[in-house]
Amino acid sequence: MARRLKLAGLIDLLWVEQPREILELAQDRRLDREFLPQGPWLNRLLARGIRRHLQLDGQPLPPLAPIGDERPNAAQITLAQSLEGPPCSQADLEALAAYVARGNTLDGPGVLVQGIVGRLFNGDYRADPQSYRDACLLDTAARTLNPWRQWRWRRSGDVDQARARLAEKVDRDPVALHATAIAVHNLVAALERMRRLAMERPRTLAHITPAAAASRCLAAPGTVLRQARTHGNHAVGSFAPGTLILFRLETARARSLRHDVAFLTHTWSRCPAAAWAPRLLSEAWRKAGKMMPAQGG
Ligand code: HEM
């Protein structure tokens, strides 16, 4: 069911969590990702915060860019094609599998995963605790709806510095910045789920197929945003210019286990890593199974 928070002149948000409704609205051209300073006060503040954090050299990062004239655009196609080969090096796959089979759940796989994603773009990419902390800060800043925290970040410049450090590591490539700062968190969450699954019931490593494990553990972005360009109506509610629509993608994915929901595959904003990410997860699970001692009965 959709949830609405609307206070005249102050805020106008619409949350959607049914897979069918999300997929419909994701194709609705009355909604876009321009994030103009429109609508009630808090909406304008939020739109400004999103644009401010998720940009590089004044240009929005790819998952923030408006529809434009052509979709999928050249960058989406090029990236999807470049991800068609093996998902990562053997050494990286072994490290991922070792984490799934016997990793330390306190440390988590953040630095490892950020390094793997970074090396898709820059073979020499080295992640470290600082670069992963930077990625966590940028992601949190882009998602928080708290105007007070946004104000503090604006004053401190911490988020700008984190973004600058991350951008330098990938030669200021906006796609790679998005991947290593934002998309990385979906993979980290998925691998943490795999680790928990393997730890709770070690036999599942042998009994759940790699594809099923990847599907079960996949993690979609918690919310994906759209902004209404015009007045309009939909079964979930009406909207006006500036209304922010929040697709609760992870809730919808968990309900349906649908990959096309997790990656918005059949929509204009489809994720170019829609095939690569499940492949990486499947292979990590398969290799982790081989690392476990054989289980009796
Ligand atoms: C489990 C992992 C991932 C999930 C579930 C995921 C999901 C998504 C979703 C739902 C979108 C659409 C956002 C929107 O409509 O506003 C998106 C966009 C995007 N994703 Fe991913 N993603 C993942 C990993 C990655 C990785 C590893 C990369 C890069 C290597 C990547 C690159 C992108 C890019 C470039 C876009 C923007 C597409 C556009 O131009 O509109 N994603 N992703």
Residue 171: strand, helix, or coil:
coil
Residue 179: strand, helix, or coil:
helix
Which tens digit of pLDDT belongs to each residue from 89-112? 999 999 999 999 998 777 889 999
Our answer on whether the CB atom of 187 is closer than 6 Å to any ligand 1 atom is: yes
pLDDT of residue 297: 37
pLDDT of residue 294: 55
pLDDT of residue 2: 86
Question: C-alpha distances in angstroms, 12 versus 82, 155, 252?
Answer: 40, 26, 22
**Domain ranges (residues) in the chain:** 3-291
| CB contact at 8 A, 227 and 245 | yes
Residue nearest atom 37 of ligand 1, based on CA coordinates: 63
- Rounded to the nearest angstrom, the gap between the alpha carbon of residue 116 and the centroid of all alpha carbons in its chain is 16
Q: Residue 168 corresponds to which tokens in the numbers above?
A: 């330098």
| CB contact at 8 A, 150 and 49 | yes
What ligand 1 atom has the least distance to the C-alpha of 83? 30
Backbone angle region of 234, left / alpha / beta, with phi > 0 → left and psi within -120 to 50 → alpha: beta
The series of mean pLDDT values per 10 residues for the chain, 297 residues long, is 92 97 97 95 90 94 94 96 97 96 86 98 97 97 86 94 98 98 98 94 85 97 96 96 98 96 97 98 96 59
Which tens digit of pLDDT belongs to each residue from 210-267? 999 999 999 999 999 999 999 999 999 999 999 999 999 999 999 999 999 999 999 9
Q: Which of 122, 107, 94 is nearest to 180 (CA)?
A: 122
Residue nearest atom 10 of ligand 1, based on CA coordinates: 263
| CB contact at 8 A, 182 and 54 | yes
Residue 198 to residue 156: CA distance in whole angstroms: 41
| CB contact at 8 A, 66 and 31 | no
16 bridge partner residues? 247
Pairing of strands 3-7, 11-16: antiparallel
Q: Residue 162 corresponds to which tokens in the numbers above?
A: 């984190």
Our answer on whether the CB atom of 264 is closer than 6 Å to any ligand 1 atom is: yes
Our answer on whether the CB atom of 181 is closer than 6 Å to any ligand 1 atom is: no
CATH of region 3-291:
1.10.630.10
